[in-house]
Amino acid sequence: MKIIITGVTRGLGHALTAEFIRLGHTVIGCGRGSEGIFDLRMKYGAPHSFDVVDVSNATKVGMWGARALAFGETPNLLINNAALMNTPAPLWKVPAEEFANLVNVNITGVANVIREFVPAMVAAQKGVIVNMSSGWGRGVSPEVAPYCASKWAIEGLTQALAKELPEGMAAVPLNPCATDTDMLRQCCGEDAARYPKAEAWARVAAPFILQLGPKDNGLSLSIPTFES
């Protein structure tokens, strides 16, 4: 299976990449950190491919998409995973630039990636688009209003996309559930340590994602409970 995934240099994206490759799938990934991309290139050779891409930049996403689609088959699975978390603060104290950067990555970035890859998937009338949501895309907490807003948007965007896809495809907003990552530590501090590590999460999440199909189109799903 050919899998496109964003945000592969750390956290859940990095763990998913390793697990998908371990299971024998081909991963085409991107991330904003050049050092992390270099490490992935050194660890995983062809047919896997990794590029430095800022998903909020439509031109750069377009260049990446053109390269990724130029060789090989149409992707079977597209995972929009790249996202930013705001520094915890009441909404009125979040700087305008920080708010804008978060929205540009978490919402506009998802649309940019969909614009580049989904037309080929639609033409082939196959494939699953997974847009990473959050428990904060279905509920809220104080001091993370920008992140909540972005993930509520992902829920609506994905469910609308699901109604636009041809039969045989699926779009799913997926709540990964709490995992001990840098992002969770940014808002929860040391409390994040009580949740499973990303590697343990990926051992459950990857098989769950791989079994998604047309039957799941438009459903708001969550990774099932797992043990660390």
Contact 65, 92 (CB under 8 A): no
128's enclosing H/E stretch is strand 127-132
Task: Of 89, 84, 65, give the one whose Cα is nearest residue 147.
Answer: 84
d(CA 220, CA 222): 7
Cβ-in-10-Å burial (0-12, 13-18, 19+) of 47 comes to: exposed
Task: Of 28, 37, 134, give the one whose Cα is nearest residue 83.
Answer: 134
If one counts every other C-beta atom within 10 angstroms of the C-beta of residue 221, the result is 15
d(CA 222, CA 225): 9
Contact 218, 171 (CB under 8 A): yes
For the question of residue 44 being annotated catalytic, the response is: no
Q: Which of 20, 64, 147, 152 is catalytic?
A: 147
Active site residues: 147
